[in-house]
Homo-oligomer: A and B are copies of this chain.
């Protein structure tokens, strides 16, 4: 027992002594804290770090307006051209849509902001506002990282479901965007539908997913409306958003994704407007230039969404990536990536738009010291910058090519630490501790162990890792030198054996299986049902 806990026991009041004493109080301390007094939680306010000055942001904004007006976008589909011309964009002989300055500024002014991304369970709702920070998964990895065998294998539908239910129980991962593609399901419709099914059955947190083509959105909506208990219910609390790569950088619309975007807007699904250029390849190598292009691209998407349906919820998804310029390969764990992501957070704040970008991707193939610092540096900088939605923040390796369930569990600890950093330092009369220091030095025991202030702050101000190891070398040795990977493997197995979320009632799942006979590939046996 810690000295602090001991003191608390010694000071227990007589009533608690009578009603159970030590054990009762110990149980109380061991019980989960109420959400509002936990040291970390979703939606903590960041923003104490930003690589760009206000002048930098204004110059980026000006460059963006210039590019949208003079360069514009190629490859718009007819319905996109029609919608954009309808709000004042121009379509020229060179096949490019150009966006007048006034149109862009007007869109920024009127676009949806301060909205909620819902969970199936309202306790997981995320208010996307100001510099409130949320961490989650994302990606389209084609491999699952097998930590025990130290190898990469193709990712499967079951892996997506397993990732979803692991995330469902991890406190510091606030949303679940599908992190892998199911390589066992080659048909695009079956892939899209089952990916979504695996996600929404696996977690009651907010889900993000994508669709290959417009036509695949309809059956998905039917499923979502059924789970929500009706279309109106889903439209009132959409618990799925569409991760939409509407742009092929630089500055071209992606035809299929635009079709999907239109169907999602119509169906009431919030859109993550995702521009994923790669600096030095599909975006400028200059970091500022990569930010300029990403902002221009996402604003074009924002005009598009608002042309289709004014005020439809859309996330400002500037996700510029980084190339290792020696090889052209992507480097998701790099310093340049950390800077790009933080700068994008600042641009979303510049427009007061809900911002999402990527951090936490490791170049390293396995959960090792390299992936640790790559994830830690990029995730903490994203949080400190006040980015609203930090995608890819957990589980990702090999610059988006491999997803690892054990890393998900370890990264939950890391993100808890990031969130504690985001929360920052409380400076109040009480926290400044003049009285406490004076008392301890002049009249007290000369130390703060068991001090009232220490006891008070122990659970509410300090973040403790769930799986991380703080043993002394001696204890560590006596306990057989515990290895964090082995602990994560064991924890993963425990969760996968025990946790089968039932937020979607069996009766609804039965109806879905009846309606989509042959389309649902996850078997009840593999879902604990």
Using A293-B437, A365-B471 as known contacts, list a sample of 4 further A-B pairs with CB atoms less than 8 Å apart, ordered by residue number in A: A287-B431, A334-B462, A368-B483, A368-B485
Contact indicator B365/A476 (Cβ below 8 Å):
yes
Q: How near does chain B come to A184, taking the closest CB pair, in angstroms?
A: 18
Among A185-193, A201-209, A309-317, A439-447, the one that faces the other chain is A439-447
Q: Once bound together, how far apart are the Cα atoms of A451 and B293, in whole Å? A: 16
Contacts of A361-390 to chain B: CB distance below 8 A = 363-365, 367-377, 380-381, 384
Binds B, one of A232-240, A276-284, A498-506: A276-284
* Chain B neighbourhood of A462, CB < 8 A: 285, 324-325, 334, 336
Query: Could you say which residues of chain B place their CB within 8 Å of the CB of A282?
Result: 447-448
> Which residues of chain B have C-beta atoms less than 8 A from A284's C-beta?
433, 436-437, 448, 451, 453-454
- Interface on A for B, CB 8 Å cutoff? 2-5, 48-53, 55-56, 59-60, 63, 66-67, 70-71, 74, 94, 143, 150-152, 250-252, 279-293, 324-329, 331, 334-336, 338-339, 343, 363-365, 367-377, 380-381, 384, 398-399, 401-402, 407, 410, 413-414, 416-421, 424-428, 430-434, 436-438, 440-442, 446-449, 451, 453-454, 457-458, 461-465, 468-473, 476-477, 481, 483-485
Which residue of the partner chain, among B49, B283, B374, contacts A48 with CB atoms under 8 Å? B49
User: In the complex the two chains form, is A431's CB within 8 Å of B288's CB?
Assistant: yes
- Please, how many angstroms separate the alpha-carbon atoms of A504 and B469 in the complex? 42
A469 proximity list for chain B (CB < 8 A): 363-365, 370
Chain B residues near A371 (CB-CB < 8 A):
369, 372
Which residue of chain B is the closest to A424 with respect to CB atoms? B51
Q: Which residues of B contact A448 (CB under 8 A)?
A: 250, 279-285
Residues on B with beta carbons closer than 8 Å to the beta carbon of A331:
470
Instruction: Tell me, rounded to whole Å, the shortest Cβ–Cβ distance linking A16 to chain B.
Output: 20
Give bound CA distance, A339 to B3, whole Å.
24
Q: How far is the CA of A491 from the CA of B112 in the complex (A)?
A: 54
In contact, A472 and B421 (Cβ under 8 angstroms): no
Which of the listed residues A3, A291, A472 has the most CB atoms from chain B within 10 Å of its own CB?
A472
| 6 residue pairs from A and B, CB less than 8 Å apart | A285-B448, A285-B451, A325-B454, A325-B457, A335-B416, A363-B468
Question: CA A434 – CA B52 in complex, angstroms?
Answer: 18
Instruction: Name the residue in A288, A343, A381, A473 with the highest tally of chain B Cβ atoms < 10 Å from its Cβ.
Output: A473
Contacts of A252 in B (CB 8 A): 446
In the complex, which of the residues B283, B326, B472 contacts A2, with contact meaning CB atoms closer than 8 Å? B326
CB pair B2–A425 under 8 Å, yes or no, is no
Whether A289 touches B437, Cβ cut-off 8 Å, given contacts A2-B327, A364-B484, A468-B364, is yes
Contact A401 B325 (CB under 8 A): no
* Beta-carbon contact of A426 and B287 below 8 Å: yes
Given contacts A431-B288, A432-B292, A472-B398, contact A454 B335 (CB under 8 A): no
Q: CB distance B418 to A292 under 8 Å?
A: no
Residue in chain B with minimal CB distance to A249: B447
Once A425-B288, A427-B52 are accepted as A-B contacts, the answer to whether A370 and B468 lie under 8 Å apart by CB is yes
Which B residue sits closest to A432, measured CB to CB?
B63
Query: In the assembly, what is the distance between CA of A70 and CA of B442, in Å?
Result: 10
Q: Give the CA-CA distance A427 to B329 in the complex, in Å.
A: 25
The 10 closest A-B pairs by CB, nearest first: A372-B372, A289-B433, A373-B376, A335-B420, A376-B376, A49-B49, A288-B431, A369-B372, A284-B433, A285-B454
Closest-CB distance, A447 to chain B (whole angstroms): 6
Determine if B421 and A335 form an interchain contact, defined as CB atoms under 8 angstroms apart: yes
Do A370 and B373 touch across chains, with their CB atoms under 8 A apart? no
* Smallest Cβ-Cβ distance to A4: which chain B residue: B325
Contact B339 A288 (CB under 8 A): no
How far is B494's CA from A474's CA once the two chains are assembled, in angstroms? 31
Give the residues in chain B near A281, CB-CB below 8 Å.
447-449
Residues of chain B within 8 A of A441, CB atoms compared: 71, 74, 250-251
Docked Cα-Cα span, A505 to B441, in Å, equals 51
Indicate whether A324 sits within 8 Å of B434 (C-beta atoms), given known contacts A51-B48, A368-B372, A377-B417: no
Residues of chain B lying within 8 A (CB to CB) of residue A427: 52-53, 55-56, 59-60, 288
Contact partner, A434, options B67, B343, B399, B484, Cβ 8 Å: B67
